[in-house]
């Protein structure tokens, strides 16, 4: 079976997960700019990963544009989010970013991400500061005010098992 790992990342957390996944499953890892119709048509399955900023998935537009090309593929989506994921918001992220027709062909997992404050653009660091100011929970407020890195290879263990059981033919 032909598979590919497609990712979009701003500061490298989603790219790190994509590289680990591609390395372990021996699949090519590519950014959306390098994906073309021919490559997509040749895939039986795709792992698609991207991070969330202010509720929006970085690959939201790409998924909408390519929705009709994905409905006959098996998809595994990995959504990279806050280092301490807010599970209560996951359903809304799916509703807001993933076209309905994709829900039927996709396994979706959320992976904890990271932020390193000195790496952030001015806009992004101001957004985090603003979130921290309006956060009433002191633990969450502290987490927003300092570096926070939950990107670990073991986080992809379950996803790798799921993909392997799909892509490896039964004996
Ligand atoms: C400005 C900013 C806004 C963010 N907004 C959200 C959000 O709405 N929901 C969420 O779960 N994570 C949010 N995050 C966390 C990112 O998804 C996380 O840092 C992720 O690891 C970034 O991955 P990347 O480096 O691949 O882009 C935000 C991070 C920043 C810096």
**90-115 pLDDT, tens per residue?**
999 999 999 999 988 899 999 999 99
Tell me, using a 6 A CB cutoff, whether residue 96 lines ligand 1. Answer: no
User: Look-up: residue for tokens 């059981």?
Assistant: 165
* CA separation for the pair 133, 153 (Å, rounded): 32
> How does residue 85 score in pLDDT terms, banded at 50, 70 and 90?
confident
Report the distance separating Cα 20 and Cα 152, nearest Å. 10
What pLDDT sits at residue 170?
Answer: 64
* CB of 49 shorter than 6 A to ligand 1: no
Residue 49 lies in a domain: yes
In the numeric block, which tokens belong to residue 85? 């994921």
Q: With left for phi above 0 and alpha for psi between -120 and 50, is residue 55 left, alpha or beta?
A: left
Q: What percent of the chain has pLDDT over 90?
A: 90
The pLDDT of residue 45 is above 80: yes
Q: Computed from CA positions of residues 127, 130, 135, 138, in that sequence, does the dihedral angle turn out positive or negative?
A: positive
- Nearest in space to 58 (alpha carbons), one of 33, 36, 21: 33
Q: Which residues pair with 75 in a beta bridge?
A: 46, 106
Q: Whose CA is closest to 139, among 91, 83, 80, 55?
A: 83
**pTM tops 0.85:** yes
pLDDT(169) > 80: no
The per-residue pLDDT for range 5-30, each reduced to its tens digit, is: 999 999 999 999 999 999 999 999 99
Instruction: Select from 7, 15, 81, 114 the residue to mutate for testing ligand 1; criterion: most ligand atoms less than 8 Å from CB.
Output: 81
Q: Is 19 in the pocket of ligand 1 (CB under 6 A)?
A: no
pLDDT band at 168 (very low <50, low <70, confident <90, very high): confident
pLDDT of residue 1: 85
CA-nearest residue for atom 3, ligand 1, is 53
**For residue 77, is it within any domain?**
yes
Residue 60 lies in a domain: yes
Q: Give the pLDDT of residue 50.
A: 98
Q: Report in angstroms the alpha-carbon separations of 1 from 13, 26, 126, 151, 163.
A: 27, 12, 45, 29, 11
CATH number at residue 10: 3.40.50.360
What does pLDDT average to over the chain? 95
pLDDT the model gives residue 26: 97
Number of domain units in the chain:
1
Instruction: Specify if 129 maps to a domain.
Output: no
Structural domain of 103: 3-114+151-163
Res 119 pLDDT > 90: yes
Spatial separation of the C-alpha atoms in residues 46 and 54, rounded to whole Å: 25
- Going by pLDDT thresholds of 50, 70 and 90, the confidence category of residue 41 is very high
**In angstroms, rounded to a whole number, what is the distance separating the alpha carbons of residues 126 and 107?**
34
pLDDT of 171 > 80? The answer is: no
Q: Which of 14, 29, 53, 112 to mutate to test the pocket of ligand 1 (most atoms within 8 A of CB)?
A: 53
143 is a domain residue: no
Asked whether residue 159 is assigned to any structural domain, the reply reads yes
The pLDDT value recorded for residue 104 is 82
> Does any domain span residue 11?
yes
Q: Is residue 108, in this structure, part of any structural domain at all?
A: yes
DSSP class of residue 118? G
């Amino acid at each position: 079976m032909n598979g590919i790992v497609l990712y979009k990342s701003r500061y490298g957390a989603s790219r790190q997960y994509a590289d680990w996944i591609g390395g372990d499953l021996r699949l090519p890892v590519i950014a959306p700019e390098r994906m073309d119709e021919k490559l997509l048509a040749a895939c039986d399955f795709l792992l698609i990963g991207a991070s969330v900023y202010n509720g929006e998935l970085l690959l939201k537009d790409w998924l909408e544009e390519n929705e009709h090309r994905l409905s006959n593929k098996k998809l595994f989506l990995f959504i990279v989010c806050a280092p301490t994921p807010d599970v209560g918001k996951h359903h809304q992220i799916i509703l807001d970013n993933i076209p309905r027709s994709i829900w039927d062909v996709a396994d979706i997992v959320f992976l904890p991400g990271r932020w390193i404050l000195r790496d952030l653009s001015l806009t992004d660091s101001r957004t985090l500061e603003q979130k921290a100011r309006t956060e009433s929970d002191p633990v969450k407020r502290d987490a927003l005010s300092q570096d926070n890195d939950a990107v670990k290879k073991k986080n992809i263990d379950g996803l790798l098992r799921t993909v392997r059981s799909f892509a490896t033919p039964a004996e």
